[in-house]
Every structure is written in C-alpha cells, then in structure tokens.
Amino acid sequence: MIRRLFFAAIAAGLLAGVIISTIHQLTTVPIILQAETYEDTAKTDPAGRAVLFSAALRLNKPDAAPMPLWRVDGQSDHQHGDAWAPTAGIERIFYTSLTTILAGIGFALLLVAGMALRGEPVDARRGVLWGAGGFVAFTLAPALGLAPEIPGAAAVDLMARQIWWIAAAVAAIAGLWLLIFTEGTIWKAVGVIVIAAPHVFGAPLPYEFPGGGAPAELAAQFAATSIAISALFWALLGGFAGHFFGRSAPEQ
C-alpha cells in the first residue's frame, strides 16, 4: 500500500508539475516580471523606506504608529535586499519548476491518502473529482480571503497570513469531507459552518493601502490567472493520481 501511494503521488506530481510549470512560464511569470518593474521603481520617503510598503498596521491597534508593511515573500523592506534569490533566466526557471513539482508531489500525497482512506475504487475520472476538492480547499477557499498577490502588494505580517491560510484550507478539507462523505443534515450543516468559520473571523488585511506600485488591473489579472491555472493543476493532479493509484491496485 505504501509503495502504491508514493508511486502514484510522485508520478502524478511530476507530470502535473512539469505541465503547469510550462504554463506558468507563459502566463503568470510575465505578469510577475512586469510587477517587479513597478516594485523596483517605487518611490521612497525621506527615511528611505518604500512608500508602497509603509502604512500603519491597525488591524488590532487603531492607534498603532506607522510601520513598514511586510512584502509578499515575507521579507521586510530593509531585509529584502539581503535575501538570496535565483538569477533571471535558466536558474529562476529551474527553481520555479522544481518548487511546482515538489508541491505537486506533496499535494498528490494528500489526495492519494484520502483515496486510500475511503477505500473505494478510483480511476482518472474519480481522481478529477478529488482534484476538484483539492482546488476548493487549497485555492478557492483561501483565495476568498487572501487572493494571490503580485510582488509589491501591500500585505500584513507573513506569519498571520500563513496561519489564516492554513486554517482556511484545513477548515475547507474538514467541511468538504462532512458534506460529501457523511449522512444526515446535521453533519452537513456542521460542514458548512466549519468551512465558513475562518471567513467569518476574517483574513488578516492591512487597514489601509498606500498608493503607488503595480496597477490594480495587473494584480487582478495575476489573481484570476493564478486561480485558473490552479484549477487546471488540481484537475491534472487528481486525474493522474486517480489513474496511477487505481492502476496499481492489486487485482481481486
């Protein structure tokens, strides 16, 4: 069973990762590169801080003094220049593709583990349905509170966003499981409540958004493109995982 699980996950993650990495290079990467030009040319205030990343974090402290916002990659403005980053070209493509493939394998492991827990026959068609659930849990539900961000987008502390993102994904997984695999109106109602809970609590967002930076249209284009590609990624991942996991099942 363990060998089947890992074989299906690695094969599915590798294939889906390679395909989506290629699509990313043709779609989202040009948007990111364009956004980085706005990030690099952002004006600075007399203290030398980028205006785009300077605002008061007033989520819980309305009287808080202004402080730099954190960047999308988790590095503050004065730390960003010292952080390592792959050079443009082949090196950047390699690391981006490797990250996508590794993420695909990790997510495929979760899908195949769910299939194994259910213990039902699975094929590529059923796998796509599992992939649709993964898309809802790991992309759509978190994106309702924290949409995919381009470089230079105003954002609060990275840790707060990561905690909320994980909570939204876990709640969506638990809620979908209750909605789909349990009987009874009460359990399904509980599933809806669980899914909605992180969104009722609210995602961590900056109290105000400074001017400048990349245009809003570019940010919207990136968010929409990223979500669309993620839908394709999960469909491929689920289909491949269902195919390989089903094909490797011992004959009865």
Q: Pick 152 or 96 by higher pLDDT.
A: 96
Predicted structure pTM score: 0.78
Structure tokens at 72: 């999308």
Whether residue 135 is contained in a domain is answered as: yes
Q: How far is CA 140 from CA 55, 60, 125, 132, 169, in A?
A: 28, 26, 21, 10, 9
Whether residue 139 is contained in a domain is answered as: yes
pLDDT for the residue numbered 40: 62
Whether residue 55 is contained in a domain is answered as: yes
Whether residue 120 is contained in a domain is answered as: yes
User: Are the CB atoms for 31 and 218 separated by under 8 Å?
Assistant: yes
Whether residue 252 is contained in a domain is answered as: no
> What is the average pLDDT score of the chain?
81
Whether residue 57 is contained in a domain is answered as: yes
- What range defines the domain where residue 25 resides? 2-247
pLDDT for the residue numbered 149: 85
The Cα angle at residue 215 between residues 211 and 219, in degrees rounded to 5: 110
Reported confidence tier of residue 100, pLDDT bands at 50, 70, 90: very high
Whether residue 171 is contained in a domain is answered as: yes
C-beta neighbour count of 150 within 10 angstroms: 24
- Number of independent structural domains in the chain: 1
Please, what sign has the CA dihedral across residues 117, 197, 70, 24? positive
Whether residue 8 is contained in a domain is answered as: yes
Spell out the alpha helix ranges (H) of 41-154: 77-80, 90-118, 124-135, 141-143
pLDDT for the residue numbered 141: 96
Reported confidence tier of residue 108, pLDDT bands at 50, 70, 90: very high
Q: What is the radius of gyration, based on Cα positions, of the chain? A: 21
pLDDT for the residue numbered 232: 97
pLDDT, tens digit (0-9, with 9 covering 90-100), for 23-65:
999 999 999 888 888 766 554 444 433 333 333 233 333 343 3
